[in-house]
């Protein structure tokens, strides 16, 4: 009974349009109501239509980037070891462990009062932090258990303020740009992995114990830079799929794949819109009928371009049959048969 | 019907010579009509440009209005002006060529390089990051221009290049000296054809000096018809107004030049001419004020006619108006089949469908034409293309003249093919082929099952009907678009044309284990499905509901599905076990997929129609209704509600106290404050869930609201809870509790500042049944407004997303080798979806694979 041939696509099927409709149609059904329940440690990620638009627009950086970092060997099974690795990744900035920052403009010093609890939680000492700041800013500092005094060598209030802000943003532990790293348990396999709320995958991959074959980020461009187009394509597809599934919308992966493949078909990532897929169409009319009508027509005239009238839009414009589906097929008849028919007609 | 087929379109620029050759009249008088109301010769409505008034004859082609296609005229501009739309290209060319010898600023070697590059031109350039998108990516052409801009010295004559300045829209400078249009023209003329080819310009069609206009093409009057107002006054088109302005200035400029006026005056007029020509092409040119109508309205000139949603391209070319269509309000009719559409008689008698007369149906054609009442022939189009209406007076002679090759226009009748559509047409099943069924009254009727793909309801929705005219169109409609072939969604293969609402409730009730029907009832139900035999009696001389339902199933059907509420088992077309509900009978039904695989879509569509009728009838005779009774608050329910509220509030209070005493443990990866908020939300959510549980346990007797929830046909426990127990947390667009309001850190003035208890942050303890306290009402209003605003935003955004997606992907299709390619042959996928399977048939494939 189950013959694969019975369930194949029909050649000529306009799968692009169907994919676009399948992704676009449920857009109106997306809801705002999505309470993120406690316990799930994920910081509230962009979801629903805004996320969909973000993927399709190929924004340089997602609004809420994150990374999943799986671990090798023992760490995957042992929470403590995983925690140790997470600490290496977890980005700690001076502002995270400082209680107060006091600027003294007349003396030209900055005093940072440390939060001792947080220092200990991150296994840091005020002295260690002090020397790190010294190295990064090329200043002198003195430190005791819970405070750091930095001599800025200047009495310019503006410079002192700028320096204070800079110091606050300084990464003193973990990976810069990695964000908060938290150990999570994979509900399916029961192993531990690390989730970060920002992505610096290439640096994270340098950390020992990280299984580099199983890292993932929702940042499409980061995946592209590290792993290449194929990975970017898969990321697009996976992100689309997750976004839709979160909203309880079932869309066949084939449709998402078409979109992902179209966006990455020539080796670079192209967005959906006038500066990407639609803006690079060969046909002048197709571009003119989409957006920036006058611009496209003017350029075509100035350079003496030619439109081959093959695409869908062009043929709709001039009222010609489109070259998809049944439009790709023409009917032929044998000469003898034609004669038979017309002969009969004449007799009557 | 296609006389000539457009193979390709070549774009280019008209040279002044071409313009003059194309023109039928040189226009010289800047006016339209004379005192007698006649078009002035040499004026803008010169009769050689074509005619629009009925009765007049075109002086160029001798045809009447509507037949005459219109003819172009021209204006000779006394002084040349820059075509403002092309000024950017003029700028690029001035930058790219030597100011002395007018050669391209590249030496021979570089020219060769560029030529080679253009030959192997890849669509996009990839920058060092390897990523080429958005603004970063440029055409090869743009890169070339960028390079040329920075060359300071001509490689041929070694002349040092001055800085070229461009002031939008039409001023050009070499250093500080302004270039006059005629000077620019002279420079552009000197660029060689070969150099233009290097840049990518086809010199045969687009010589750049033609961008400086010395003759202006005037479109025919058809393009800019004047209209006569009721008062008899004539009102001219915006384009005509603009052309009048251009001619006036042109004339004044000529007079001044001839009179030997000072250069300043001539330059001023020249500039004015430039302004008027600029606004004639595009009245929204940046940097200059738009030309206005006397009333102060900005004129709609050429660019505005083409641009945007209401422009020529999107409004008239991408979307077209059609004949043979109808639109009216829709309403339900469960007694017509899912593949039928009820068409009001008034519409059916006006719409026509062609009847092609052949040697084989000539008799039938004549017979049909004899008819004097519906369905009759309304008119004949004879083989030479003449149309004739049939009236009682001429019927006899028209019938006599009917011969093979004629086309009769017959009124639409039962069984004719029609396309039925509801906007917004978001997906393929938004337009489907239905068979016409002519009915009395004035609305389109459709079976409730087809409501879902159209996203239609009956609160005043209107739908459109189209009658395909050619046999080809009818065949395509029938074999590709018919309702029976759209039952499964192309999105995921789920059944989307299914019974719903009362259809499911009815089936749920009918297939209950204890449903027993007497003979009369069973016969009635089955008769609705055109079944005229009864199943075997079960005990006590009654017929079981399951057996009655089984009569509708195709013989030989085997099916089994596990659902949350037990197994549904069908063996040889008999329902042995289980109750039908939404899971088995509604959207996504595997039962329907199974029937499709085993028996085909014709059997399936009949099953849906027939079983739907039985289900509706049963829910009617059984009586399924909801009233206030369903939501009564019994003392038990009230007690449960109070307890839940008390417990929840206590727990939340405890959390807050813990937080204040710093005893609360933070959730991993969150700050203490975030954790508190999340825990409170979780607690409040739990309250709503337990309220639901309590409600179900404490509801006694036959509650139809709960019946519907169980059947899956309508409503959820949450709806019930909100009506009779508590409304629960009101959300904001950010997904959290309501937090903004007054600056004193409170949502409403009734609340103590800084209070984070449930009620203070939008947890409504009242139910709809009880009514709201003022705070509840405000909180509820906040939640409602938020969702209204959000919804409006969402529809606009998702509409644009849809348009972009379709535009990006519309050229892709599956080829005969199952690769996915665009119309130019570029491969996107080597095998569709990796396995070449059709997602529409996925559910079917799944049930088939089980065997």
B516-566 pLDDT per residue, tens:
999 999 999 999 999 998 888 877 788 999 999 999 999 999 999 988 888
Q: What is the pLDDT of residue B120?
A: 39
CA distances in angstroms from A208 to A75, A115, B479, listed in the order given: 10, 29, 61
State the DSSP code for B820: E
The whole-number pLDDT of residue B359 equals 87
pLDDT at A31: 67
* Digit-coded pLDDT (tens) for A269-328: 988 988 888 888 888 899 888 888 888 899 889 888 888 888 899 999 998 889 899 988
Looking at CATH, the fold of the domain delimited by A67-90+177-217 is given as Alpha-Beta Plaits (3.30.70)
Q: What is the pLDDT of residue A266?
A: 83
Decide if A167 touches B, using CB distance below 8 A. no
C-beta of residue B161 within 8 angstroms of C-beta of residue B97: no
The pLDDT value given to residue A2: 53
Angstrom CA distances, A199 to A45, A304, B477, stand at 14, 47, 51
The answer to whether the CB atoms of A25 and B206 lie below 8 A apart is: no
Higher pLDDT, B65 or B851: B65
> Cα distance from A284 to chain B (closest Cα, Å)?
9
**What pLDDT is recorded for position A34?**
52
Numbered ranges of CATH 1.10.132.30 in chain B? 628-784
Fold of A92-173: Gyrase A; domain 2 (3.30.1360)
Of the candidates B691, B665, B690, B689, the one whose C-alpha atom is nearest the C-alpha of residue B678 is B665
- The minimum CA-CA distance between B543 and chain A, rounded to whole Å, is 35
Chain A CB within 8 Å of residue B821 CB? no
ipTM (interface pTM): 0.88
CA dist., res. B762 & res. B775, Å (int): 8
Task: Return the higher-pLDDT residue of B823 and B469.
Answer: B469
Inspect the interface and report whether the beta carbons of B123 and A280 lie closer than 8 Å: yes
Q: Do A268 and B206 touch (CB under 8 A)?
A: no
Picking from B493, B794, B809, the nearest residue to A262 by CB comes out as B809
Alpha helix stretches (DSSP H) within B501-634: 502-510, 519-528, 545-550, 582-585, 590-599, 601-622
The structure tokens listed for B77 are 């501009």
The Cα of A273 is separated from the nearest Cα of chain B by a number of Å equal to 6
Rounded to a whole number, what is the distance in Å from the CA of B28 to chain A's nearest CA?
Answer: 28
Task: Return the percentage of chain A with pLDDT > 90, whole number.
Answer: 21
Report, as an integer, the average pLDDT of B378-395. Answer: 88
Asked if the C-beta of B85 comes within 8 angstroms of chain A's C-beta atoms, the answer is yes
CB neighbours of A110 closer than 8 A, spacing ≥ 6?
A101, A102, A103, A104, A149, A150, A152, A160, A163, A164, A167
B97-112: b or e for each residue (b if 16 or more CB lie within 10 Å)?
bbbeebbbbbeeebbe
pLDDT exceeds cutoff 90 at A189: no
Q: Which residue has the higher pLDDT, B415 or A3?
A: B415
A–B interface: beta-carbon pairs under 8 A: 363
Cβ <8 Å between B491 and A12: no
**717-746 of B, contacting A, C-beta below 8 A:** 729, 731, 733, 735
Asked if B29 has any chain A CB less than 8 Å from its own CB, the reply is: no
Kindly determine whether residue A258 and residue B809, on different chains, have CB atoms separated by under 8 Å: yes
For B801, the closest of A24, A308, A310 (CB atoms) is: A24
Cα–Cα dist B341/B436, whole Å: 5
Q: Which residues of B touch A320 (CB under 8 A)?
A: 2, 5-6
- By residue count, chain B amounts to 851
Residue B735 backbone dihedrals phi, psi, to 5 degrees: 95, -5
- Is residue A320 within 8 angstroms of chain B, CB to CB? yes
Average pLDDT of chain A?
83
Which residue of chain A comes nearest to B844, CA vs CA? A7
What pLDDT score does B123 carry? Answer: 36
Name the band, by pLDDT with cuts 50, 70 and 90, for residue A343: low
- Whole-Å CA distances, B724 to B640, B716, B775: 12, 13, 18
- Which is it for strands B417-421 and A171-173: parallel, antiparallel or unpaired? unpaired
Highest mean pLDDT among A79-93, A265-279, B607-621: B607-621
Q: Which of A19-28, B71-80, B670-679 has the lowest mean pLDDT?
A: B670-679
Element (H, E) at B737: none
pLDDT attached to residue B666:
76
**Which chain A residues are Cβ-neighbours of B839 within 8 angstroms?**
18, 22, 252, 254-255
pLDDT of B491 higher than 90? yes
* Subunit contact A18:B801, Cβ cutoff 8 A: no
> If you average pLDDT over residues B645-668, what whole number do you get?
88
* Residues B307, A1: C-beta atoms closer than 8 Å: no
And the tokens for B269? 């007029």
- The dihedral built from the CA positions of residue A210, A211, A215 and A221, taken in this order, carries a sign that is positive
If you write DSSP's letter for every residue of B376-409 in order, what string do you get? -EEEEE-TTS-EEE--TTTHHHHHHH--TT-EEE
What topology is assigned to B628-784 in CATH? Topoisomerase I; Chain A, domain 4 (1.10.132)
| Closest chain A residue to B802, measured at CA | A24
A329 touches chain B (CB under 8 A): no
Overall fold of domain A281-348: DNA polymerase; domain 1 (1.10.150)
Given B794, B805, B832, which is nearest A9 (Cβ)?
B832
The pLDDT value recorded for residue B484 is: 94
* Identity of the highest mean pLDDT range in B133-137, B697-701, B828-832: B828-832
- Kind plus residue range of the DSSP H or E element containing B218: strand B212-218
Give dist(CA A284, CA B11) in Å, integer.
Answer: 9
Between positions 471 and 490 of B, the ones with CB within 8 A of A are 476, 480, 490
Exposed, middle or buried: residue B397 (CB in 10 Å: 0-12, 13-18, 19+)? exposed
Nearest to B736, CA basis, from A256, A211, A35: A35
Name every residue whose Cβ is closer than 8 Å to that of residue B736 and which is 6 or more positions away in sequence. B677, B681
pLDDT tens by residue, B83-111 = 999 988 888 888 888 888 888 877 777 77
pLDDT tens string B112-130: 766 655 543 333 333 333 3
**Interface membership of A45 toward B (CB under 8 Å):** no
Class of residue B252 by CB neighbours under 10 A (exposed 0-12, middle 13-18, buried 19+): middle
**Residues in B 125-164 with any Cβ partner in A closer than 8 A:** 126, 129-135, 137
| Three-state SS sequence of chain A | CCCHHHHECCCCCCHHHHHHHHHHHHHHHCCCCCCCCCCCCCCCCCCHHHHHHHHHHCCCCCCCCCEEEEECHHHHCCHHHHHHHHHHHCCEEHHHHEEEEEEECCCCEEEEEECHHHHHHCCCCHHHHHHHHHHHHCCEEEECCCEEEEECCCCCHHHHHHHHHHHHHCEEECCCCCCCEEEEECCCCCCEEEEECCCCHHHHCCCCCEEEEEEEECCHHHHHHHHCHHHHHHHHHHHHHHHHHHCCCCCCHHHHHHHHHHHHCCCCCCCCCCCCCCCCCCCHHHHHHHCCHHHHHHHHHHHCCEECCCCHHHHHHHCCCCCCHHHHCCCCCCHHHHHHHHHHHHHC
Q: List residues bridging with B172 in a β-sheet.
A: B166, B179
Mean model confidence pLDDT for chain B: 87
Average pLDDT for residues A76-90, to the nearest whole number? 84
Contacts of B494 in chain A (CB under 8 A): 250
Q: Determine whether the interchain pair B133/A44 forms a contact, defined as Cβ–Cβ distance below 8 Å.
A: no
Say if residues A316 and B318 touch (Cβ distance below 8 Å). yes
Q: What is residue B158's predicted lDDT score, i.e. its pLDDT?
A: 77
Whether cis (ω within 30° of 0) applies to the bond prior to B375 is yes
B812 contact A CB<8A: yes
What's the pLDDT score for residue B108? 73
Chain A residues 230-259 with a CB less than 8 Å from chain B: 250-255, 257-259
- In this prediction, residue B116 carries a pLDDT of 56
Lowest-confidence region among A320-324, B46-50, B109-113, B371-375: B109-113
Report the alpha-carbon distance of residue B317 to residue B315 in Å, rounded.
6
- Which token pair is B340? 């039928």
Q: Predicted confidence band at B786 (pLDDT cuts at 50, 70, 90)?
A: confident
| Closest by Cβ to A11, choosing from B307, B733, B815 | B815
Residue ranges of chain A assigned to CATH 1.10.150.390:
281-348
pLDDT band at B377 (very low <50, low <70, confident <90, very high): very high
Do B669 and A41 lie within an 8 Å CB cutoff? yes
Is the pLDDT score of B481 beyond 80?
Answer: yes
Instruction: Please give the pLDDT value at position A33.
Output: 53
A37: nearest CA in chain B?
B682
Among A4, A10, A20, the strongest candidate for a mutation testing the B interface, having the largest count of B CBs within 10 A, is A20
Beta-carbon contacts of B668 under 8 Å, excluding residues fewer than 6 positions away, are A41, A182, A183
Cite the residue boundaries of each domain of chain B with CATH code 1.10.274.100: 502-622
- Helix and strand totals (H; E) in chain B: 26, 28
- pLDDT confidence band for A49 (50 / 70 / 90): confident
Task: Specify the domain boundaries for CATH 2.40.40.20 within chain B.
Answer: 326-482
Nearest chain B Cα distance for residue A17, angstroms: 5
Question: What are the chain B neighbours of A254 within 8 Å (beta carbons)?
Answer: 832-834, 837, 839
Task: Tell me which of A107 and B9 has the higher pLDDT.
Answer: B9
**Angle in degrees, CA B709, B712, B714, rounded to 5:** 65
CATH of domain B326-482: 2.40.40.20
Domain B502-622 fold is: Enzyme I; Chain A, domain 2 (1.10.274)
Which pLDDT does position B109 carry in this prediction?
72
Check CB contact of B363 with chain A, cutoff 8 Å.
Answer: no
């Amino acid at each position: 009974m189950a013959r694969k041939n019975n369930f194949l696509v029909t050649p000529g099927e306009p799968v692009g349009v169907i994919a676009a409709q399948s992704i676009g149609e449920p857009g109106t059904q997306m809801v705002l109501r999505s309470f993120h329940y406690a316990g799930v440690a994920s910081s509230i990620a962009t979801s629903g239509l805004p996320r969909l638009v973000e993927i399709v627009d190929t924004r340089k950086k997602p609004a809420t980037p994150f990374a999943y970092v799986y671990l090798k060997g023992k760490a995957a099974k042992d929470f403590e070891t995983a925690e140790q690795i997470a600490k290496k990744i977890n980005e700690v900035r001076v502002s995270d462990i400082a209680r107060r920052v006091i600027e003294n403009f007349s003396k030209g010093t900055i005093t940072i009062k440390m939060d001792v609890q947080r220092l200990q939680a991150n296994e840091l000492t005020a002295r260690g932090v002090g020397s790190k700041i010294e190295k990064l800013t090329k200043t002198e500092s003195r430190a005791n258990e819970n405070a750091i005094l930095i001599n800025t060598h200047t009495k310019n209030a503006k410079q002192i303020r700028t320096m204070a802000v800079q110091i606050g943003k300084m990464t003193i532990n973990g990976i810069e740009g990695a964000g908060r790293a938290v150990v999570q348990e994979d509900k399916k396999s029961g192993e531990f992995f690390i989730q970060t709320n920002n992505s610096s995958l290439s640096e994270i991959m340098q950390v020992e114990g990280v299984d580099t074959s199983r890292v993932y980020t929702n940042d499409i461009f980061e995946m592209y830079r590290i792993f290449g187009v194929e990975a970017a394509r898969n990321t697009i597809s996976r992100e689309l799929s997750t976004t839709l599934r979160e909203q309880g919308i079932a869309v066949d992966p084939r449709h998402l794949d078409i979109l992902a493949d179209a966006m990455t078909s020539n080796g670079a990532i192209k967005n959906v819109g006038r500066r990407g897929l639609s803006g690079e169409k060969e046909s002048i009319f197709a571009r003119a009928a989409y957006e920036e009508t006058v611009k496209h027509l003017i350029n075509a005239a100035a350079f003496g371009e030619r439109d081959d009238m093959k695409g869908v839009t062009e043929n709709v414009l001039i009222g010609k049959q489109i070259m998809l589906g049944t439009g790709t097929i023409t009917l032929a008849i044998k000469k003898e048969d034609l004669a038979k028919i017309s002969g009969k007609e004449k007799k009557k | 019907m296609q006389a000539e087929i457009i193979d390709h379109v070549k774009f280019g620029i008209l040279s002044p010579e071409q313009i003059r050759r194309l023109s039928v009249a040189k226009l010289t008088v800047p006016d339209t009509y004379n005192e007698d109301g006649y078009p002035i010769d040499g004026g803008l409505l010169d009769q050689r440009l074509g005619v629009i008034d009925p009765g007049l004859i075109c002086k160029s082609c001798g045809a009447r209005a509507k037949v005459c296609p219109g003819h172009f005229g021209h204006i000779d501009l006394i002084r040349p002006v820059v075509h403002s739309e092309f000024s950017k290209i003029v700028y690029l060319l001035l930058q790219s060529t030597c100011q002395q010898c007018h050669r391209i600023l590249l030496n021979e070697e570089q020219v060769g390089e560029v030529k080679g590059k253009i030959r192997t031109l890849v669509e996009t350039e990839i920058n060092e990051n390897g990523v080429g998108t958005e603004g970063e990516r440029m055409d090869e052409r743009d890169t070339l221009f960028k390079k040329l801009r920075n060359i300071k010295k001509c490689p041929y004559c070694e002349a040092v290049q001055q800085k070229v300045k461009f002031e939008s829209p039409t001023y050009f400078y070499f250093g500080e000296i302004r270039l006059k249009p005629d000077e620019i023209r002279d420079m552009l003329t000197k660029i060689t054809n070969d150099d233009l080819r290097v840049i990518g310009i086809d010199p045969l069609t687009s010589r750049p000096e033609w961008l400086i206009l010395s003759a202006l093409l005037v479109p025919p009057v058809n393009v800019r018809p004047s209209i006569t107002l009721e008062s008899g006054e004539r009102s001219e088109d915006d384009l005509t107004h603009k052309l009048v302005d251009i001619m006036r200035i042109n004339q004044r400029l000529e007079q001044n030049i001839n009179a030997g006026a000072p250069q300043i005056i001539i330059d001023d007029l020249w500039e004015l001419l430039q302004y008027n020509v600029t606004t004639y092409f595009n009245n929204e040119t940046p940097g200059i004020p738009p030309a206005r109508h006397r009333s102060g309205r900005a004129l709609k000139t050429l660019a505005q006619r083409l641009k945007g949603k209401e422009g020529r391209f999107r409004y008239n070319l991408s979307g077209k108006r059609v004949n043979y269509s109808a639109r009216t309000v829709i309403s339900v009719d469960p007694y017509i089949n899912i593949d039928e559409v009820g068409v009001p008689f008034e519409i059916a008698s006006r719409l026509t469908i062609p009847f092609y007369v052949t040697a084989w149906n000539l008799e039938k054609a004549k017979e049909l034409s004899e008819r004097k009442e519906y369905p009759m022939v309304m008119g004949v189009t004879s083989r030479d293309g003449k149309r004739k209406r049939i009236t009682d007076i001429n019927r006899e002679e028209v019938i006599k003249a009917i011969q093979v090759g004629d086309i009769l226009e017959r009124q639409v009748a039962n069984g004719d093919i029609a396309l039925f559509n509801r906007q917004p047409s978001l997906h393929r099943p938004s337009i489907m082929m239905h068979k016409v069924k002519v009915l009395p009254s004035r609305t389109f009727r459709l079976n409730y099952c087809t409501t879902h793909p159209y996203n239609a309801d009956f609160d005043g929705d209107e739908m459109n009907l189209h009658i395909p005219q050619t046999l080809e169109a009818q065949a395509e409609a029938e074999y590709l678009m018919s309702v029976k072939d759209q039952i499964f969604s192309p999105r995921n293969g789920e059944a989307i044309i299914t019974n719903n609402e009362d259809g499911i409730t009815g089936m749920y009730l009918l297939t209950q284990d204890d449903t027993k029907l007497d003979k009369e009832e069973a016969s009635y139900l089955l008769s609705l499905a055109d079944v005229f035999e009864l199943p075997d009696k079960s005990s006590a001389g009654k017929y079981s509901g399951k057996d009655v339902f089984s009569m509708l199933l195709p013989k030989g059907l085997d099916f089994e599905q596990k659902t949350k509420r037990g197994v549904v088992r069908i063996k040889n077309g008999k329902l042995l076990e289980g109750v039908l509900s939404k899971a088995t009978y509604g959207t996504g039904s595997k039962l329907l997929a199974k029937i499709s695989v085993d028996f085909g879509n014709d059997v399936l569509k009949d099953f849906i129609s027939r079983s739907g009728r039985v289900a509706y009838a049963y829910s009617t005779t059984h009586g399924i209704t909801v009233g206030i009774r369903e939501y009564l608050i019994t003392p038990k329910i009230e007690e449960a509600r109070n307890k839940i509220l008390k417990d929840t509030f206590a727990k939340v209070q405890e959390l807050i106290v813990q937080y204040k005493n710093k005893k609360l443990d933070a959730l991993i990866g969150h700050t203490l404050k975030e954790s508190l908020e999340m825990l409170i939300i979780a607690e409040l959510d739990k309250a709503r869930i337990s309220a639901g549980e309590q409600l179900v346990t404490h509801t006694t007797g036959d509650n139809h609201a709960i019946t519907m929830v169980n059947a899956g046909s309508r409503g959820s426990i949450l709806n019930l809870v909100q009506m009779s127990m508590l409304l629960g947390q009101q959300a904001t667009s950010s997904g959290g509790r309501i937090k903004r309001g007054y600056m004193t850190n409170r949502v409403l003035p009734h609340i103590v500042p800084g209070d984070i208890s449930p009620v203070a942050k939008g947890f409504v303890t009242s139910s709809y049944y009880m009514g709201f306290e003022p705070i509840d009402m405000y909180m509820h209003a906040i939640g409602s407004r938020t969702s209204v605003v959000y919804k409006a935003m969402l529809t606009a955004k998702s509409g644009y997303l849809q348009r972009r997606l379709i535009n990006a992907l519309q050229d892709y299709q599956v080829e005969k080798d199952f690769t996915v390619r665009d119309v130019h042959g570029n491969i996107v996928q080597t095998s569709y979806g990796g396995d070449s399977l059709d997602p529409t048939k996925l559910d079917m494939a799944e049930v088939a694979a089980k065997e």
